[in-house]
Amino acid sequence: MSISVRGLPAAKRAINTWNDLTRPLYWLYEQRLLREIHSGSTRPRHIGIIMDGNRRFAKSIGLDVHKGHDYGADKAHEVLDWCLELDIRHVTLWGFSTENRGRSPEEVAHLYHLFALQARELLKDSRLHDNGVRVRVIGDIEDFTAEAKDALRTMEEATSNYDGMNLNIALGYGGREEILTAVKSLLKEKAELGTNLERIASTLEADEIGRHLYTAGMPDPDFVIRTSGEVRLSGFLLWQTAYSEFYFCDAFWPEFRKVDFLRAVRSFQQRQRRFGK
């Protein structure tokens, strides 16, 4: 992402200058981390990322919060590259929660337009097609603008036959709402088969609910990263993350660097997963 220096706040210009000075050192560090990861144990099959901190990033350098979301969208493209480089086969990015609808109408409208813009840009990106990335939107987008819904559905349809990577983009998403939707869908399915409520209650199994979740057919995320310094899930994939490993990074999402991502993956590789045993 190229940024014109003219018109940027002094703080942002200072950040750019510092980045120019430190970039060679970070590149060397990235290469070291990549070597360690490639020589290490199994990488995550499914990474979930809570992309948090766009607004606080913008405010910290004197920009409008809308610009923070714009920078955050660009960062998502970078992270997609990093995941492809490590051959991560399943990625879920959380970009807009059910609670985010309560923000100012101007901010929400900007986000809806941004989702449409990013969907159209992603479809033009050769990386998507060269790597066979299947993109799916998980969540409830029925109240999104027509522009956003059309662009997102077009993106889903255009990539529906790809099988290189599964990229889930969680929009209008809430973990409790997902579980509730799954249970309703399951009950409806059982009722249509003529199963009575008592029989449903006595035979219901967890795997049956899992088949009705947004991520049905994919492995549960084994690794979840959250940026911005917040140490909580906020409802992200509540059902699926029962045995996930977590990594919390202090950097705001637009500031999340490749070295931060690689250090997170290295941390995952160094852990011993017991699954409650």
List residues with catalytic annotation.
Answer: 52, 100
Torsion of CA 221, 227, 230, 234, to 10 degrees: -40
The whole-angstrom separation of Cα 207 and Cα 276 is: 18
In one-letter notation, the amino acid at residue 275 is F
The whole-angstrom separation of Cα 151 and Cα 118 is: 9
3-state secondary structure the chain: CCCCCCCCCHHHHHHHHHHHHHHHHHHHHHHHHHHHHHCCCCCCCEEEEECCCHHHHHHHCCCCHHHHHHHHHHHHHHHHHHHHHCCCCEEEEEEEECHHHHCCHHHHHHHHHHHHHHHHHHHHCHHHHHCCEEEEEECCCCCCCHHHHHHHHHHHHHCCCCCCEEEEEEEEECHHHHHHHHHHHHHHHHHHCCCCHHHHHHHCCHHHHHCCCCCCCCCCCCEEEECCCCCCCCCCCCCCCCCCEEEECCCCHHHCCHHHHHHHHHHHHCCCCCCCC
